[in-house]
Amino acid sequence: VSGDDSRARLVDATAGLMRRHGYTGTGLAAIVDAAATTKGSLYFHFPGGKEELAVVVVEREAAALAAAIDAVIAGAVDVDAAVAGVFALLRQELVRSDFASGCPITPVAVDVAGDDSAVAAVCRAAFARWHQQIAGTLVRLGRSDADAVDDAWFVLSLIEGALLLARSERSTAPLDAAERRLRALLPTSTSTSST
Amino acid sequence: VSGDDSRARLVDATAGLMRRHGYTGTGLAAIVDAAATTKGSLYFHFPGGKEELAVVVVEREAAALAAAIDAVIAGAVDVDAAVAGVFALLRQELVRSDFASGCPITPVAVDVAGDDSAVAAVCRAAFARWHQQIAGTLVRLGRSDADAVDDAWFVLSLIEGALLLARSERSTAPLDAAERRLRALLPTSTSTSST
């Protein structure tokens, strides 16, 4: 159990550091320190070191955010409430972290975008997962499959860009503006309860 | 003149490295190497080291992109052509760099977003400059000042997010989708020639 604890602490510590400092800015010493364990323990649980940890963390964070967004959408009475709920979730993390943390994947994805690495591949998969999630929601709202692909890139770009700008500006203004414009654009009459 | 040359080479080298690897991922050794100069020369021209170089580079890149976008808008016959021209400019850099480089500021801004540093301040100023540029264009197209502030955050978020995703995906698909959706949203009947 103690072994499992230190594995979980390593993953949590890496997640917390990488969502703030990215892949390059997160060192093994900082991970080991934040996890209150040793380099020996890190390499015991993750023989692939920082790269292996990053892969686990990016997959976990992408799945966690997708699940949180699914729960918000499933509990919303209509599209307007669903969009408001998703933006409230995104704003919560920004404010909770004093604007140090926005999208959990972006700081890592930006660092590895040019690489042909496993970390770059899981970042791509994370964005693809959210893209599919948005496209699927839009299809349930009546969009054609082809339109939903474009619309989902549009929505995901808007959210990722707004989180990026909000973090840099240390203000929710870009996210607030994105929410207002998106709520005005989306159909509001259809229920999301089929989720 | 030789001194000026090495100063210019240091700025160019830093710009090329930081738009790909960000602030944390760009080391002094790599800058000196790419500029074909010495650490002594770097500290002669930039006593503040990497931080001072980053401030110069971010300001230069932000001004250069703003000027390029102004030129595209001034030369466009209508709003639709202006938007198409701006996206063509953004796509050009992505494709030219084989998707290694998108927005010149984002990789630096993401690295320093949590910091209370001069580099974070010039990144905020760069985004604010582009925000004002977009808002000013929208006011000329007839938007109210209040609407233009929100709309400019919306447009800038969309572009920054699409560049981020395009770079990660190694595909122009997110940028293409953003352009199609934006062109469908913007008024197309008004000339931009007052620019």
Two structure tokens written together for B134: 């977009």
Nearest CA in chain A to B156: A161
Helix (H, G, I), strand (E, B) or coil at A102: coil
Residue A192 burial (C-beta neighbours within 10 Å; 0-12, 13-18, 19+): buried
Tens-of-pLDDT digits for all 195 residues of chain A?
Answer: 455 799 999 999 999 999 999 999 999 999 999 999 999 999 999 999 999 999 999 999 999 999 999 999 999 988 899 999 999 999 999 999 999 999 999 999 999 998 889 999 999 999 999 999 999 999 998 899 999 999 999 999 999 999 999 999 999 999 999 999 999 987 654 444 444
With CA atoms as reference, report the closest residue to B173 among B107, B97, B95: B95
Decide if A178 contacts A166 (C-beta within 8 A). no
Decide if B150 contacts A177 (C-beta within 8 A). yes
Query: Distance from A145 to chain B by nearest Cα, in Å?
Result: 14
Q: Within an 8 Å CB–CB cutoff, is residue B153 touching chain A?
A: yes
Kindly provide the residue ranges of all beta strands, DSSP E only, lying in chain B, ordered along the sequence: none
Chain A residues near residue B120 by CB distance under 8 angstroms: 168
With CA atoms as reference, report the closest residue to B64 among B120, B113, B30, B19: B19
pTM here is 0.93
State the pLDDT confidence band at B141, using cuts at 50, 70 and 90. Answer: confident
Mean pLDDT, chain B, rounded, equals: 92
Query: Distance from A3 to chain B by nearest Cα, in Å?
Result: 32
User: Per residue in A144-192, pLDDT tens?
Assistant: 999 999 999 999 999 999 999 999 999 999 999 999 999 998 765 444 4
Out of B21, B160, B177, name the one closest to residue A161 (CB): B160
Q: Do A173 and B153 touch (CB under 8 A)?
A: yes
ipTM of the complex: 0.93
